[in-house]
């Protein structure tokens, strides 16, 4: 079986043949068609050099030319792991040692694939910002002086995940400019931007306060102190008023769900076991008595 280098050598077209082809086409083709042909020839020569390079595989070349074929990060990681363990990548005909994770010893734990971190697509609630390249766009020539290729957009951009601290409830202060006529004293106020709404506390604020209080057990006073530390005051009495107003909007649906749940035939109760010291002592004495009578 021939190696990749031997297959490249069997190609009858050489670099000199391609150069002569370009010279013959210069006066025959239009300027636009000649530029397209020149790019095709340059791409062919570049790919041929990559194929002849020691250690370059067809899968690596396909990914370099067309990008990853799968949008799932797990699939991309699996492909990278496959290439690391693929035998005979160096073209020497040898075989790579078996992967320890695929053939574990008896009783050994199998290590899961992946690095244990959350993938970028897991941050569904995060704000997503796309930043294009500063100087390049798809179709531009390669900025490397030694290369005559053309750049193209990859399917997956490079992803950076950054965390920042913020208050549980944020706020915006919108100042609307006002003008007054010196004669009729009429005041003209700028229009508020779209999406501002008419209420000071919108439905998301009421939901978040209720979730913090009754979902995660954050007391009113503790949340008040946390908000004050971030410079966004939220008094405990106000938290109750906002939560009550939000509850009144959904109480009809809540009562209907309770009524539907009451029609069920089976109820499940998840009661976390808790040790009661006084009963533990009493149960221990009872067990001793039973063993003594037995």
Tell the burial category of 44 from Cβ atoms under 10 Å away from its Cβ (0-12, 13-18, 19+): middle
CA dist., res. 117 & res. 171, Å (int): 31
If you average pLDDT over residues 9-26, what whole number do you get? 71
Residue keyed to tokens 């020149």: 38
- Over 50: is that where the pLDDT of 89 sits? no
From residue 29, how far is each of 33, 182, 197 by CA, in Å?
A: 6, 74, 62
CA dist., res. 134 & res. 42, Å (int): 25
- What are the pLDDT digits (tens) for 127-156? 888 899 999 888 899 999 888 888 888 878
- Over 60: is that where the pLDDT of 253 sits? yes
Range of lowest pLDDT (90-99, 113-122, 171-180): 90-99
Q: Which pLDDT does position 259 carry in this prediction?
A: 92
Could you please report the per-residue DSSP string of 110-153? PPPSS-SSPPGGG-TTS-------SS--TTPBPS-TT---B---
CB 158 within 8 A of CB 165: no
CB 213 within 8 A of CB 223: yes
pTM over 0.75: no
Of 70, 63, 83, the C-alpha closest to 119 is: 70
Q: How wide is the angle at C-alpha 83 spanned by C-alphas 81 and 84, nearest 5°?
A: 65
Instruction: Tell me the three state secondary structure of residue 189.
Output: strand
DSSP 8-state secondary structure symbol assigned to residue 101: T
- Over 70: is that where the pLDDT of 160 sits? yes
The mean of the pLDDT values for the chain is 79
Residue keyed to tokens 């005979």: 88
CA dist., res. 10 & res. 17, Å (int): 14
30's enclosing H/E stretch is: none
Q: Which pLDDT does position 290 carry in this prediction?
A: 85
If you average pLDDT over residues 150-169, what whole number do you get? 87
CA dist., res. 221 & res. 10, Å (int): 80
- pLDDT tier at 10, thresholds 50, 70, 90: low
If you average pLDDT over residues 47-75, what whole number do you get? 65
Instruction: Tell me the three state secondary structure of residue 253.
Output: helix
If you average pLDDT over residues 217-245, what whole number do you get? 94
């Amino acid at each position: 079986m021939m190696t990749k280098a031997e297959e490249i050598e069997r190609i009858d077209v050489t670099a000199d043949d391609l150069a002569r082809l370009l010279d013959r086409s210069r006066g025959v083709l239009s300027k636009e068609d000649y530029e397209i042909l020149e790019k095709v020839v340059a791409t062919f020569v570049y790919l041929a050099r990559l194929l002849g390079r020691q250690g370059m595989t067809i899968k690596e070349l396909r990914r370099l030319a067309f990008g990853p074929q799968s949008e799932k990060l797990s699939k991309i990681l699996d492909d990278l792991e496959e290439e690391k363990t693929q035998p005979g990548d160096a073209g020497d005909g040898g075989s790579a040692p078996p992967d320890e994770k695929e053939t574990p010893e008896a009783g050994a734990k199998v290590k899961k694939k992946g690095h244990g971190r959350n993938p970028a697509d897991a941050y569904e609630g995060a704000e997503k910002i796309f930043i294009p390249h500063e100087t390049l766009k798809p179709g531009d020539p390669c900025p490397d002086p030694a290369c005559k290729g053309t750049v193209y957009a990859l399917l997956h951009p490079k992803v950076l995940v950054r965390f920042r601290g913020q208050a549980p409830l944020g706020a915006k202060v919108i100042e609307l400019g006002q003008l007054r006529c010196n004669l009729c004293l009429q005041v003209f106020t700028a229009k508020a931007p779209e999406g501002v709404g008419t209420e000071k506390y919108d439905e998301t604020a009421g939901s978040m306060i209720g979730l913090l209080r009754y979902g995660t057990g954050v007391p009113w006073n503790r949340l008040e102190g946390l908000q004050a530390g971030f410079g966004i005051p939220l008094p405990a009495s106000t938290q109750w008023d906002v939560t009550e107003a939000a509850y009144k909007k959904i109480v009809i649906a809540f009562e209907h769900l309770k009524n539907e749940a009451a029609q069920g035939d089976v109820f499940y109760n998840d009661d976390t076991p808790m040790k009661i010291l006084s009963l533990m002592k009493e149960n221990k004495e009872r067990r001793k008595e039973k063993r003594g009578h037995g």
